[in-house]
Amino acid sequence: MGVSRSSRTPERRRSMLRNTASMLQNRASMLQNTASMVQNTASMLQNTASMVRNTASMVRNTASMVRNTASMVRNTASMLRNTASMVRNTASMVRNTASMVRNTASMVRNTASMVRNTASMVRKRSIVPRWTSGGPGATRTPDKRFRKPLLYPPELRGHARRETARG
């Protein structure tokens, strides 16, 4: 069943040529659209590559920030340990100072007691105050066995005897 020659009339040929031209135009348009899509896809790939580079940079920066934060946390922990040690040392110093104050107060009380006892003994004449013995009128060692004659010339020895005889 072949097509007869009569069916291939010039009108029909023109119609077929128009259809073929239209189909070629459609295909050309489709090729242009495909080329445009390829360009858009290439642009999108470039943008994606740029985004991947930016994301990698952000990941590196974030990792650096995490390392810095970890270092800061370690430094802060060390500072807290040092502060705690300083607080303990300060507390120990306060305790030692309080003990020293108590000891000083006890020493002051003991000294006051000694002063009172010495004053009482002076009033009762059970001891002679140090500032009254050994002056020009008396000797520090009234017992003659302990005195050396060269240290006590005769004029002082006689004077000291007179003072002891009066006292």
Distance CA 149, CA 163 (A): 18
Residue 69: pLDDT band with limits 50, 70, 90:
very high
User: pLDDT per residue over 81-137, tens digit each?
Assistant: 999 999 999 999 999 999 999 999 999 999 999 999 888 887 776 665 555 555 555
Mean pLDDT, residues 51-67 taken together: 97
Query: 105-130 burial by CB neighbour count: b if 16+ within 10 A, else e?
Result: eeeeeeeeeeeeeeeeeeeeeeeeee
Residue 167: pLDDT band with limits 50, 70, 90:
very low
What are the extents of the domains in the chain? 128-167
**pLDDT at residue 34 above 80?**
yes
Structure tokens at 95: 């305790």
Q: Helix, strand, or coil here: 116?
A: helix
Tell me what pLDDT residue 161 has.
47
Distance CA 109, CA 62 (A): 69
Tell me what pLDDT residue 145 has.
59
Mean pLDDT, residues 58-70 taken together: 97
124: phi then psi, degrees, rounded to nearest 5 = -85, -5
DSSP 6: G
